[in-house]
Amino acid sequence: MQKQTFSLVASLLLTGLVTTLPAKAQISQPLLLSQSQQSSNQQIDELLRQGRELVDAGNFVQAVNAYQRAAALDRENAKIFSGIGYLQARLGNYREAAQAYRQAVSLEANNAEYYYALGYSLAQTGDNRTAADAYRNAARIDPNNLKHLQGLGVVLLREEDYNGAIAAYQQIIALDPDNQEAYEILGTTLIQQGRTTEAIEVLQKATRNSARSSGMLLQLGVALLSEGNTNAGLAALEQAKKMDGQNPDIHYYIGKVYRQRRNLEGALDSFRRAVSLRRNFVNAQAEIGEILLTQGNHIEAIVAYRQLIELAPNNPAAHYNLGLALKGRQRYSEAIAAIEKARDLYQENNNRSGIRQAEAMLDEIKEKQR
């Protein structure tokens, strides 16, 4: 089974990865003033008190103003800048949050929470490379805190630094052997790097302990199929289905195995189940059409390909195969229109073999019309 079959699983796991908003401990607790300010500046105390009250009331904009006024009076208090950073992050002002957290870490360079918050804010702006440096500093200071490594892993994946991400998730698993998400992401990343054998070892280990999940069994099944171990791959997929029968990807890959084994009815059932669970499942819908066309069931194939074209109107193969199904019902005018559309789409994609195929089929159908 080809490596592109991993794309469905990978897209689910490697997109939408997020890190958590930094804690507001620096606001909810009284902020310590620097030694020089503690005894002399009652104004700062009052501003910080007002800021905390505004935070409790949910008025973050005015709270920021109070903290910024306090910061103007005491430029040496890291906690004040950390508070500003937290509030700016809550408001979605991530560049301003990062600026505040930079000031905090410059004043208190051994505070892992400040580096973590800086990494989070930078990641939200899309500056993943600099965010990774911040997360590394957080992990260096507090190496047993999973969230620092999780943040690092996320931004490294976004930067396509897969070896770095693999190392980060291996560290997470070493600290937390039952971390399902870490196993799943590590397995997917190893597979994407072509390190399928390593991925199988990781996932087999994971499925033997309490971290076992349907997602890991799905990945394991697909990895085993890629290595040609069909029996073990199907067994893993069947176990995944028992754990989560509502996962369309599991049914899709089971259908791929059945089709490979020429069990077309079993494959058709699996692909239809996948589509029923995910209405816009283009790949599964395409498989349904191909099987029906292979079986000579042209009426249902026409329906299947029209549904596919609704999902993927610019897919030339869908239009071409619709034309074949229409040809099978001797609906030649409709078949010509479908294949002409396929030819036009092949031309847009500069697909010469597709163009030749479409033109040859058009000649064949037009000959039958005479």
DSSP string, 159-208: TT-HHHHHHHHHHHHHH-TT-HHHHHHHHHHHHHTT-HHHHHHHHHHHHT
In the prediction, which pLDDT does 120 show?
A: 96
CA-nearest of 263, 295, 298, 300 to 285 is 300
Instruction: Give every CB contact of residue 342 below 8 A, 6+ residues apart in sequence.
Output: 316, 317, 319, 320, 323, 354, 358
Tell me how far apart the alpha carbons of residues 288 and 267 are, in angstroms, rounded to a whole number. Answer: 8
% residues pLDDT > 70 (the chain): 88
Q: Output DSSP code: residue 32.
A: P
Q: Which two tokens stand for residue 34?
A: 């620097």
In the prediction, which pLDDT does 117 show?
A: 95
Cβ–Cβ under 8 Å, residues 291 and 263: no
Residues 180-189, mean pLDDT to the nearest whole number: 90
In the prediction, which pLDDT does 152 show?
A: 97
In the prediction, which pLDDT does 189 show?
A: 92
Helix (H) or strand (E) holding 235: helix 230-243
Residue in the structure block whose two tokens are 């010509």: 336
End-to-end CA distance of the chain, in Å? 43
Per-residue pLDDT tens digits for 304-339: 999 999 999 999 999 999 999 999 999 999 999 999
Cβ–Cβ under 8 Å, residues 224 and 257: no
Cβ–Cβ under 8 Å, residues 94 and 114: no
Per-residue pLDDT tens digits for 16-72: 455 676 665 455 444 454 554 454 477 777 777 777 777 777 878 887 887 888 778
pLDDT at 171 exceeding the cut of 70: yes
What amino acid is encoded at 22 in this protein? P
Tell me how far apart the alpha carbons of residues 306 and 208 are, in angstroms, rounded to a whole number. Answer: 44
In the prediction, which pLDDT does 155 show?
A: 96
pLDDT at 13 exceeding the cut of 50: no
pLDDT band at 210 (very low <50, low <70, confident <90, very high): low
Cβ–Cβ under 8 Å, residues 147 and 180: no
Q: How far is CA 245 from CA 8, 11, 129, 236, 283, in A?
A: 17, 20, 39, 13, 19
Arithmetic mean of pLDDT over the chain: 88
Cβ–Cβ under 8 Å, residues 78 and 26: no
Structural domains in the chain, CATH included, are 1-162 (1.25.40.10), 279-370 (1.25.40.10)
CA-nearest of 172, 166, 163 to 139 is 172
Q: How far is CA 237 from CA 131, 158, 241, 314, in A?
A: 37, 28, 6, 32
For residue 32, the tally of other CB atoms under 10 A from its CB is 13
Per-residue pLDDT tens digits for 262-288: 999 999 999 999 999 999 999 999 999
Residues 240-264, mean pLDDT to the nearest whole number: 96
Tell me how far apart the alpha carbons of residues 301 and 291 are, in angstroms, rounded to a whole number. Answer: 8
pLDDT at 93 exceeding the cut of 80: yes
Tell me how far apart the alpha carbons of residues 30 and 271 are, in angstroms, rounded to a whole number. Answer: 59
Q: How far is CA 251 from CA 225, 267, 270, 271, in A?
A: 14, 9, 5, 6
In the prediction, which pLDDT does 42 show?
A: 77
pLDDT at 6 exceeding the cut of 60: no
Q: Which two tokens stand for residue 370?
A: 């005479």
CA atoms within 13 A on the CB side of 320: 19
pLDDT band at 2 (very low <50, low <70, confident <90, very high): very low
